[in-house]
């Protein structure tokens, strides 16, 4: 059981007198876009061969032969850039500290159910969304297959295709029985393409009545939430994107930057008006609070900020200590960018609300290392009166610790969690999405996991060690 792991490996401390010119230049030129990044957060090779060559053009430095530099137009001088490179070269570690906690594998709480595979023509599982209708308990998923995509319903042991999609669905928010708001990303690849769509779907209606368009032409949207008579939409985008307030006729930009990946809504200042909180996972990573100004706009405040190498993936609001204030449970673990190495600071974090959404970002109240952590869900899975956690990790240590792809954290005492890995689950898939709900209507919380088995292997020489054809699994909660 772990409460907090010290972060001594995350920070290198220098006295004011020993600050090198390279450090000063890095802080000056890089922190204007994002939180300054310590050399200790990545290994030397990743800095020199991948990250710094990718960052150089942003400062007006040209790159040739992968990691050779020359003066560009505008930006800093080549002399200044070489000082920055020297700073990271001298202080970056040769390798990052490996963190591989031992997981207890059992099946005491969850029973694994698998559907019949969709069909033999799908070579690899490509599930991008799973959902449980909270009104009916029905299980839905979405997947891509080449140039086609679809929405599926799990019926018995079969996955039945119910709606053809222009692009794969990545989020489904239910607003009534068998009625939801479906977000289709447009293009999974990191491109600037305005092809995302938001649909109101009723999968059990007659075929011609199942889809109603709410918005089109969006920059890779990943989530849509009802917000009064309107909707909050998160356009993750690529180099452009944003957070939007929209309806069928209008669209208003709330924050005009890419990387919006997850949002929560609520009346956070108790003034009777709806507010929102959103996680941005690109460049200046962090969580922003948007308070309704009662005039059709929002005031904004960044409540948590993270280095851009963290790879923010999700967060959830929950009152863990039952003090009436919403705490933040956050995950870091995206590993598909320039620094594709296992990172000891990837995992699940808890930040307790000190009041008015003030948090101590330098010392989280709980941290558990999970390589490539993708999502967290907090719920009282074992029905003992406190909140437990469930995490998935798409970029897990597939070679050495594949069980960390799904972890159930049983809370034994306040912020003392016992991690469990469900026996034999790691062999079934590679989990990219997860949803919770009471599918069998027996009063406890079940889980459904979606598997994506096409590409994104960052560990050299590794071949998939799971069933690449299995699209999803249902974890039935057997707590009595």
DSSP string, 40-64: GGS-HHHIIIIIHHHHGGGGTEEEE
* pLDDT number for residue 121: 54
Whether the per-residue pLDDT at 30 is higher than 80: the answer is: no
Instruction: Read off the pLDDT band of 299 (50, 70, 90).
Output: very high
Higher per-residue confidence, 411 vs 455: 411
* pLDDT number for residue 194: 95
Residue ranges covered by each domain of the chain: 21-91, 104-166+270-477
Whether the per-residue pLDDT at 1 is higher than 90: the answer is: no
**pLDDT tens digits, one per residue of 210-246:** 999 999 999 999 999 999 999 999 999 999 999 999 9
Scored b (16 or more CB within 10 A) or e, 319-348 reads: ebbeeeebbbbbbbbbbeebbebbbbbbbb
Q: What is the pTM of this model?
A: 0.92
- For residue 344 the two structure tokens come to 């000891």
- For residue 293 the two structure tokens come to 């100004």
SS3 82: helix
Phi, psi (rounded to 5 degrees) for 296: 95, 5
Q: Which residues contact 271 (CB under 8 A, 6 or more apart)?
A: 292, 294
- pLDDT, mean of residues 163-179: 96
Q: Is 295 exposed, middle or buried (0-12, 13-18, 19+ CB in 10 A)?
A: exposed
**pLDDT tens digits, one per residue of 347-389:** 999 999 999 999 998 899 999 999 999 999 999 999 999 999 9
Task: Kindly report the average pLDDT of the chain as a whole number.
Answer: 91
CB 435 within 8 A of CB 448: yes
The number of beta carbons lying within 10 Å of the beta carbon of residue 30 is 17
Lowest mean pLDDT among 153-162, 351-360, 448-457: 153-162
The number of beta carbons lying within 10 Å of the beta carbon of residue 189 is 9
Q: What are the C-alpha distances in Å from 241 to residues 84, 196, 238, 245, 259?
A: 30, 11, 7, 13, 7
Sequence length of the chain is 480
Instruction: Read off the pLDDT band of 416 (50, 70, 90).
Output: very high
Whether the per-residue pLDDT at 323 is higher than 70: the answer is: yes
- pLDDT, mean of residues 340-349: 96
Whether the per-residue pLDDT at 6 is higher than 60: the answer is: no
CB 8 within 8 A of CB 362: no
* pLDDT number for residue 118: 57
Instruction: Read off the pLDDT band of 113 (50, 70, 90).
Output: very high
Residue 112 and residue 450: Cα distance in Å, rounded? 13
CB 243 within 8 A of CB 232: yes
Terminal-to-terminal C-alpha distance of the chain: 24
Question: 104-166+270-477: which CATH topology?
Answer: Tachylectin-2; Chain A (2.115.10)
Nearest alpha-carbon partner for 435 in 473, 382, 388, 397: 473
- pLDDT, mean of residues 289-306: 96
Percent of the chain exceeding pLDDT 70 equals: 94
Q: Which residues contact 18 (CB under 8 A, 6 or more apart)?
A: none
* pLDDT number for residue 120: 55
Region for 265 from its dihedrals, namely left if φ exceeds 0, alpha if ψ lies in -120 to 50, beta otherwise: beta
Q: Which residues contact 255 (CB under 8 A, 6 or more apart)?
A: 242, 243, 278, 280, 288, 290, 300
* pLDDT number for residue 235: 97
Residue 73 and residue 274: Cα distance in Å, rounded? 46
Percent of the chain exceeding pLDDT 90 equals: 78
Q: What are the C-alpha distances in Å from 165 to residues 168, 183, 197, 198?
A: 6, 11, 10, 11
Scored b (16 or more CB within 10 A) or e, 224-237 reads: bbebeebbbbbbbb
The number of beta carbons lying within 10 Å of the beta carbon of residue 251 is 16
Whether the per-residue pLDDT at 85 is higher than 50: the answer is: yes
* pLDDT number for residue 74: 77
* pLDDT number for residue 283: 81
Q: Which residues contact 327 (CB under 8 A, 6 or more apart)?
A: 317, 318, 319, 320, 321, 350, 351, 352, 353
CB 356 within 8 A of CB 337: no
Instruction: Read off the pLDDT band of 101 (50, 70, 90).
Output: confident
Residue 377 and residue 330: Cα distance in Å, rounded? 10
Whether the per-residue pLDDT at 87 is higher than 80: the answer is: yes
Q: How many CA atoms lie within 13 A of 467 on its CB side?
A: 16
Q: What are the C-alpha distances in Å from 3 to residues 318, 357, 363, 409, 418?
A: 17, 21, 12, 12, 10
**pLDDT tens digits, one per residue of 52-66:** 999 999 899 999 888
CB 411 within 8 A of CB 365: no
CB 105 within 8 A of CB 468: no
Whether the per-residue pLDDT at 403 is higher than 90: the answer is: yes
């Amino acid at each position: 059981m772990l409460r907090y792991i010290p972060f001594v490996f995350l920070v290198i401390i220098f006295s004011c007198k020993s600050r090198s010119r390279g450090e000063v230049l890095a802080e000056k030129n890089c922190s204007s876009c994002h939180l300054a990044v310590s050399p200790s957060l990545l290994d030397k090779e990743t800095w020199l061969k991948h990250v710094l060559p990718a960052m150089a053009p942003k400062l007006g430095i040209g790159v040739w032969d992968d990691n050779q530099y020359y003066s560009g137009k505008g930006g800093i001088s080549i002399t200044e850039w070489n000082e920055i490179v020297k700073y990271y070269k001298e202080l970056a570690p040769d390798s990052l500290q490996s963190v591989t906690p031992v997981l207890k594998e059992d099946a005491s709480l969850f029973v694994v159910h698998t559907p019949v595979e969709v069909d033999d023509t799908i070579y690899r599982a490509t599930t991008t969304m799973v959902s449980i209708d909270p009104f009916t308990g029905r299980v839905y998923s979405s997947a891509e297959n080449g140039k086609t995509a679809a929405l599926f319903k799990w019926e018995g042991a079969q996955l039945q295709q119910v709606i053809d999609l222009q692009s794969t669905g990545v989020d489904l928010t239910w607003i009534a029985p068998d009625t939801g708001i479906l977000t289709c990303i447009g293009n999974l690849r990191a491109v600037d393409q305005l092809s995302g769509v938001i649909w109101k779907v009723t999968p059990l209606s007659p075929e011609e009545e199942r889809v109603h368009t709410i918005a089109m032409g969006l920059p890779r949207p990943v989530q849509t939430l009802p917000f009064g008579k309107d909707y909050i939409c998160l356009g993750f985008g690529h180099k452009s994107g944003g957070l939007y307030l929209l309806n069928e006729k209008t669209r208003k930009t709330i924050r005009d930057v890419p990387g919006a990946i997850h949002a929560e809504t609520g009346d956070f200042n108790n003034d009777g008006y709806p507010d929102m909180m959103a996680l941005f996972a690109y460049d200046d990573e962090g969580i922003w609070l948007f308070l309704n100004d009662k005039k059709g706009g929002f005031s904004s405040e960044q409540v948590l900020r993270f280095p851009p190498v963290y790879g923010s993936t999700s967060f959830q609001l929950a009152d863990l200590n039952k003090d009436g204030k919403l705490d933040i449970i956050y995950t870091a673990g995206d590993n598909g960018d320039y620094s594709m190495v296992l990172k000891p600071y990837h995992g699940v974090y808890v930040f307790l609300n000190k009041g008015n959404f003030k948090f101590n970002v330098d010392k989280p109240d709980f941290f558990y290392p999970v390589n490539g952590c993708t999502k967290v869900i907090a719920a009282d899975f074992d029905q003992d009166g406190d909140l437990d956690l469930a995490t998935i990790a798409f970029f897990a240590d597939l070679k050495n610790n594949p069980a960390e792809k799904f972890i159930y954290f049983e809370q034994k005492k306040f912020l003392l969690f016992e991690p469990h890995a469900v026996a034999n689950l790691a062999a079934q898939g590679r989990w990219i999405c997860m949803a919770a709900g009471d599918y069998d209507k027996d009063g406890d919380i079940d889980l459904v996991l979606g598997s994506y088995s096409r590409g994104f292997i960052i560990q050299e020489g590794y071949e998939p060690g799971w069933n690449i054809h299995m699209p999803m699994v249902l974890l039935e909660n057997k707590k009595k």
